[in-house]
């Protein structure tokens, strides 16, 4: 959607950067993901405009069933166009609106835990960071948590998300009705000073959560969080089997590295 008018605006008001998702590097692969004819040529046109005019871009890729065969080509494509930043994400999350038909499509695009670990191992720098930051959590000792707090990620401590319709969230993935604040009917100071502490202090007494997630020794290898649990299960405090399998696959890979 980038046009010359946007380039003029960006040059007048310089941005830190623009993040762009790369779904594939050929028309066939790109539009297999987007399901929109003409989207690949539009993507190339807009990206070329940005790069040729010196607008800093950060390229990222969602790796899924429809484009995993182009993984190396996507890395090469991105490396040629951004020198200091590129990342890929193999985790496709379910929809905020819970559409069951489209959620099934998303699940069909997900890679297996073993495929995810294989991709992560193919990036030595990424895998080393994972290893250094998390391998000390792979022990036979269960983490001793004495409370049943849901949030342990620091969400809402330094930032918040505000959507186009005035909904205040602690993070962009947190859509549970008890964790959003309508800023059109309140104030920013109340949201920051009163609402955030209320959400941050939410607790759970759900047995599955307390027994399976709260004390899990692989917590640093798992992408589980209340926001993603809600997207997957409809609850903030339910385990997600897919995330669990990925964490154990990562453990296996780190142990045998």
DSSP per-residue letters across 158-227: S--EE-TTSEEESSTT---GGGEEEGGGS-HHHIIIIIHHHHHT-B---HHHIIIIIT-TTGGG----HH
Residue 150, in any domain of the structure: no
Q: Which domain holds residue 247?
A: 161-255
- Residues 129 and 165 grouped into a single domain: no
Q: What is the pLDDT of residue 87?
A: 86
In a domain, 152, yes or no: no
CA dist., res. 106 & res. 176, Å (int): 20
Same-domain pairing of 180 and 118: no
Confidence at residue 137, expressed as pLDDT on a 0 to 100 scale: 52
In a domain, 229, yes or no: yes
91 and 169 co-located in one domain? no
pTM recorded for the entire structure:
0.84
Given 117, 133, 149, which residue is the final one in a domain? 133
**Residues 175 and 127 reside in one and the same domain:** no
Give domain status of residue 139, yes or no.
Answer: no
Question: What is the pLDDT tens value at each position of the chain, 257 positions in all?
Answer: 999 999 999 999 999 889 999 999 999 999 999 999 999 999 999 999 999 999 999 999 999 999 999 999 999 999 888 867 788 999 999 999 999 999 999 999 999 999 999 998 887 777 777 777 665 554 444 455 557 889 888 888 888 999 989 999 999 999 999 999 999 999 999 999 999 999 999 999 999 999 888 888 888 889 999 999 999 999 999 999 999 999 999 999 888 77
Specify whether 36 is located in the same domain as 84: yes
In this structure, is residue 177 part of a structural domain? yes
Beta bridge partners of residue 59, listed in sequence order: 20, 86
Same domain, 28 and 121: yes
Tokens of 186: 């309140």
List the one residue out of 219, 200, 209 whose CA is nearest residue 154. Answer: 200
- The answer to whether residue 166 is domain-embedded is yes
* Residues 120 and 179 reside in one and the same domain: no
Are 115 and 37 within one domain?
yes
**pLDDT of 136:** 54
Residues 104 and 176 occupy one common structural domain: no
Structural domains counted in the chain:
2
Region at 53 (left for phi over 0; alpha for psi -120 to 50; beta for the rest): alpha
Cα distances (angstroms) measured from residue 7 to each of 13, 20, 102: 10, 15, 35
């Amino acid at each position: 959607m980038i046009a010359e008018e946007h380039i003029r605006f960006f040059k007048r008001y310089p941005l830190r950067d623009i993040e762009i998702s790369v779904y594939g590097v050929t028309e066939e692969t790109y539009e297999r993901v987007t399901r929109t004819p003409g989207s690949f040529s539009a993507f190339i046109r807009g990206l070329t405009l940005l790069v040729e005019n010196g607008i800093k871009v950060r390229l990222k890729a969602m790796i899924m069933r429809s484009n995993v065969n182009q993984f190396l080509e996507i890395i090469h494509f991105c490396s040629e166009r951004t020198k200091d930043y590129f990342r890929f994400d193999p985790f496709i999350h379910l929809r905020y609106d819970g559409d069951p038909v489209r959620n099934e499509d998303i699940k069909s695009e997900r890679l297996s835990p073993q495929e995810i670990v294989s991709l992560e191992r193919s990036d030595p720098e990424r895998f080393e960071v994972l290893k250094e930051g998390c391998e000390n959590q792979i022990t036979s000792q269960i983490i001793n948590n004495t409370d049943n707090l849901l949030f342990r990620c620091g969400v809402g401590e330094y930032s918040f998300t505000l959507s186009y319709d005035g909904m205040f969230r602690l993070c962009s993935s947190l859509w549970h009705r008890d964790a959003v604040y309508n800023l059109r009917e309140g104030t920013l100071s109340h949201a920051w000073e009163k609402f955030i502490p209320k959400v941050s202090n939410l607790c759970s007494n759900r047995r599955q959560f307390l027994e399976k997630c709260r004390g899990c020794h692989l917590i640093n290898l798992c992408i589980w969080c209340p926001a993603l649990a809600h997207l997957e299960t409809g609850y903030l405090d339910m385990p997600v089997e897919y995330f669990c399998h990925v964490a154990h696959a990562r453990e296996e890979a780190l142990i045998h590295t």
